[in-house]
Amino acid sequence: MFFRGNETVTIKRKAIAGVDDYGNETYTTTEIVVSNALLGFGATDEPIDASRNAVDASVTLYLPSGTVILEEDVFEVRGSDFVKDGDPMAWESPFSGWNLGVVVKVRKRDG
């Protein structure tokens, strides 16, 4: 690892646990704790909708190299759950080309 942040992010990953009596898949959630993450705070937004009082927030996560991110992962950041907003990308040094980690944008809506 070439960087060391001071944030801890928990990735909540859904996995098939088995099948119920009717043949439907059942699921469980696995929590993967990722230490040494960095946060890049994004914007907040208030969608225009007279029927709701909502706030959208986005954060960019810089996670250590080797962190695996799957399509339906949920990210717990500072006590709030966020969903992935786009594809994760390799975070590379512009000077050396070294892989520093994984960067992924996440978002949430309150309200």
Question: Distance (Å, rounded) from C-alpha 59 to C-alpha 42?
Answer: 5
**Confidence at residue 53, expressed as pLDDT on a 0 to 100 scale:** 79
- In this prediction, residue 1 carries a pLDDT of 41
Residue 52 and residue 111 in contact, taking contact as beta carbons nearer than 8 Å? yes
d(CA 18, CA 26): 5
pLDDT in the model for residue 4: 66
The pLDDT value given to residue 3: 59
One-letter-per-residue 3-state SS of the chain:
CCCCCCEEEEEEEEEEEEECCCCCEEEEEEEEEEEEEEEEEEEEECCCCCCCCCEEEEEEEEEECCCCCCCCCEEEECCEEEEECCCCEEEECCCCCCEEEEEEEEEEEEC
Q: Is pTM beyond 0.85 here?
A: no
> Which residues of the chain have a pLDDT value below 70?
1-4, 47, 49-50, 111
Long-range pairs, 90-99, Cβ under 8 A, ≥24: 91/62, 93/2, 98/2, 99/65
Question: What pLDDT score was predicted for residue 106?
Answer: 95
